[in-house]
Amino acid sequence: MTHPIRTAAVIGAGTIGLSWTALFAAHGLTVLVSDPRPDLAEAVAEALAAFGPHLAAQGLDTDGLAARVHLAADVTEAVRDADVVQENAPERVEFKKELFAQLVREAPGHALLLSSSSAIPATAFATDIEDAGRILIGHPFNPPHLLPLVEVVPGKRTTEESVQAAVAFYTAVGRTPVVERQEIPGFVGNRLQKALSRQAVYLVQQGVVTPEDLDTVVTHSLGIRWATVGPFLGAHLGGGPGGYRHITEHIGSSMQQMSLGEPSQEPEDQERVVQAVEKAYKSTPYADLAEARDRRQLAVLSALADIRRNQHQKEN
């Protein structure tokens, strides 16, 4: 896995695949994109135009971005000369089994085979593949050209060499890879997200809060805190000089007594939540909501980068 990475294949050009495409191209890679969608050319062109300013804001050179992206007629053409493959296919185990068997056959022997799977561990679709040592999860958060995290999750047969190669690759394209050493459905990020989402749905179903007010609660408290320190460090600081031990001993028991409700799975109750969210947000076009989200995320990332830069200057 010491082969230099110059060419990337992106398999699947949905929201995640298009974002990966722009990111890889902005880092100087030649990118081949494969997807059966009939509007592939238009989708790629629109994505590059939309994401270009985001990438420029991160200090990347976006001149000639489109010239580095090429449409492949099929998967075979896309991966034929690839040094790394980023798969973004549907979340279906059998589909991924067939696809990765094809990737192993068609991609060069040195190519790293990465899956953007949101919940399915690599072992689930790579068990019967002979050359499974270079297959592993590289799960981003949407959109990956903006949000730095990539969960690197090896399967049972993934080699340590492939894990380190994946970490080096994602680091080289400006991401923050975190290696998770045990497979679990949904990995870490989506399991945390699901836990919060379940409680959010429950609170709306119970009439405690509206969707927009719940979003305000998160964005004006937990969202700001977790963007800077994360749950464990936040709790450690919340304990004052006594740290995490203090907060566990003094608040832990009362927090444990708080029962978290389970949201109803009844169709009519779920429909009420859907309608409440639509009432809050559907009147605003999706593109406008996404643009506002990305602008705010860029502002947060920029502020955090400034802090790290200033801290580095002080230390040196």
- At residue 257, the pLDDT reads 77
pLDDT given at position 78: 98
8 Å CB contact between 247 and 238: yes
Q: What is the pLDDT of residue 67?
A: 97
**pLDDT tens string 252-301:** 777 777 888 999 999 999 999 999 999 999 999 999 999 999 999 999 99
- Count of positions (residues) in the chain: 316
pLDDT at residue number 46: 97
CA distance between the termini of the chain: 34
Ordered alpha helix ranges (H), the chain: 15-26, 40-57, 75-79, 93-106, 122-126, 160-172, 189-205, 211-217, 223-228, 230-238, 243-250, 252-256, 267-281, 286-315
Rounded CA separation 212/160 (Å):
45
Could you write out the DSSP letters of every residue in 267-285? HHHHHHHHHHHHHHHTTS-
- CA neighbours closer than 13 Å in the CB half-sphere of residue 269: 12
Structure tokens at 3: 């082969």
Contacts (Cβ under 8 Å, ≥6 apart) of 124: 93, 96
Mean pLDDT in the chain? 95
The residue with tokens 């976006």 is 62
- Structural element, H or E, at residue 11: strand 7-11
pLDDT digits (tens, 9 = 90+) for 150-187: 999 999 999 999 999 999 999 999 999 999 999 999 99
Give the tokens for residue 182: 């045990």
For residue 2, pLDDT beyond 90: no
What are 3-35's pLDDT values in tens digits? Answer: 899 999 999 999 999 999 999 999 999 999 999
Q: What is the pLDDT of residues 198-227, one digit of tens each?
A: 999 999 999 999 999 999 999 999 999 999
pTM of the model: 0.92
The SS3 of residue 168 is helix
Q: How far is CA 119 from CA 37, 91, 305, 314, in A?
A: 24, 8, 30, 41
Name beta bridge partners: 293: none
> Looking at residue 169, what is its pLDDT?
98
What is the spatial distance between Cα 122 and Cα 158, in angstroms, rounded to a whole number?
A: 9
Distance CA 99, CA 78 (A): 13
